Structure formats: structure tokens, C-alpha cells
Amino acid sequence: MQLNFLLDNKIYFYVKTNFREILTFGIVGILCFVINISLIWFFNHYFDYKITVTLAYIPTVLFHFLCHKFITYSDKTNKLKKNLFFYFIMLFINYFLSLSIVSFTINILSLSIFYGALFSNFIIPIFSYTFMKFIVFKKV
């Protein structure tokens, strides 16, 4: 009982002291979703689905990186190469984490790919927020 109370208080305190950053992270995520879906809808009229997804993915990832660098984490440093290096490591980890969650959902839980994608979309943002805060845009 005591451990739950301490954990709840630590989470509450963290969210309270980082509320703006967490809210901004969520808003950027929603905007990225809207941009990605809109671009997929647009490009799908002209290209094959593989090209469509690629053309939508590139500006979405660029928007995601720049918004988090300059808005969410207010990183005004000139460490762009270092930031990008760790950001791409995070994208790589996210991809395999997502693939693992979807595979587990399909092969072990015998559920649809959509449940796997849903589960992954709850776990990936938590990992991404933590990775970006403490590694990609780490304050010195």
C-alpha cells in the first residue's frame, strides 16, 4: 500500500511539474497523425500505397522532429547532428518495438493486427517521450 502511494505521488508530481511539456508532446503527436493521414489520403490518389506511405512519412517525421526540438523540449542548442543521430535510433527502436507488439498480439494473443497497432500506439509514445526527453534533447 505504501509503495503504491509513493509511486502515485511521484507520477502525480512529475506530470504536474512537466504538464506543459507533456501536453505539447501530445498535441504534436495529434498534429503528426493528422498530417500523416491527410498526406496519405492526398498521395493515394496518384501513387501506389508503398510510395504513398513513404511520401507521407518523410514530412511527418520532419515535422515531428522539429516541433519536439524547438517547441516541446525548447532545445535551442546547435547539436542538430547529435539530435538527429539519437532521433533516428529512437525511430529504429520504435519500429522494432511496434513490430514486436503487433507480432505478440497476433501470434500469442490471437488478436487482429488492429489490436496490436492500438496497443503499440499506447506504448510507443511513452517510450518516445522518455527517450526524447532524456537522450535526444537531453538538457546538460
* Boundaries of every domain in the chain: 1-74, 78-140
Tens of pLDDT, residues 101-138: 888 988 999 988 878 888 888 888 889 999 999 999 88
pLDDT digits (tens, 9 = 90+) for 72-103: 988 888 888 999 999 999 999 998 888 888 88
Q: What is the 3-state secondary structure (H, E, C) of the chain?
A: CHHHHHHHHHHHHHHHHCHHHHHHHHHHHHHHHHHHHHHHHHHHCCCCHHHHHHHHHHHHHHHHHHHHHHHHCCCCCCCHHHHHHHHHHHHHHHHHHHHHHHHHHHHCCCCCHHHHHHHHHHHHHHHHHHHHHHHHCCCC
